[in-house]
Structure 1
Amino acid sequence: MILEAMIHHVKRGMEIEYEEAFRKASLIISSMNGYISHDLQRCMEVEGKYLLLVKWDSLEDHTIGFRESPEYQEWKQLLHHFYDPFPTVEHFEKVNLS
């Protein structure tokens, strides 16, 4: 399992519209192969700042299966115009501490 993490900023005054669009986009991402779960958090200190966490079975499920799919084009159309600046997406794997 990998964790995709993205901190992003939504253009001022567009937060409500963004959250509504994200509800629609959630249906897209949750239908993809390898998808496990996702969570969107709104920052309490900085207006327009969000954290998106998505769990995938593998890195390729996100980078190839989702990003190279027709569904991703719909995702982009729904969400990408809200970002300023465009966010960086990072992937993490769990550290076994035992």
Structure 2
Amino acid sequence: MILEVAILTVKEGQEKQFEADFAIAGEYISSIKGYIKHSLRKCLEQKNQYLLLVDWEKLEDHTIGFRQSSQYLEWKRLLHHYYDPFPTVEHYETIIENINE
């Protein structure tokens, strides 16, 4: 499994509309083959900063499957105009995981 991580800085004053549009955009990303789950987390210290976490089966599910899809065009249309600066997206693989159940 691959974890996609992006820190999203949203233009100040547009946070509520971004959150509403992100809820819609989630339908597009979740329809892609290899998608597992995603979450959007809001920073407590900086009200216009968010953390996007997306789990994919393989890196290519994101970099090719999603980014070369018509769903990505809708994602981009809904969300990309909110960012300043445009986010850097990075991918991580799990080395150690400890779950306390």
> Common fold, TM-score beyond 0.5?
yes
CA distance in 2, matches of 1:23, 1:92: 24
- Where structure 2 has 5 or more consecutive residues not aligned to the other structure, the ranges are none
Could you say which residue in structure 2 is the equivalent of 1:68? 68
Identity %: 58
After TM superposition, the structure 1 = structure 2 runs for residues 6-85 of structure 1, keeping only pairs within 5 Å, are: 6-85=6-85
Alignment RMSD = 0.9
- Where structure 1 has 5 or more consecutive residues not aligned to the other structure, the ranges are none
Q: What are the superposed Cα offsets for residues 36-83 of structure 1, whole Å, 9 maximum, x if unpaired?
A: 000000000012000000000000000000000111001000000000
CA distance in 1, matches of 2:72, 2:29: 8
When the two structures are superposed, what TM-score results if normalisation uses the length of structure 1?
0.96
Q: Which amino acid aligns with 2:50?
A: Y
Could you say which residue in structure 2 is the equivalent of 1:86? 86
CA distance in 1, matches of 2:12, 2:24: 21
1:96 deviation in Å? Answer: 4.2
CA distance in 1, matches of 2:71, 2:27: 10
Q: How many residues align?
A: 97
CA distance in 2, matches of 1:94, 1:18: 30
Q: Which amino acid aligns with 2:52?
A: L
Runs of 4+ in 1 over 4 A off after TM superposition: none
CA distance in 1, matches of 2:8, 2:74: 19
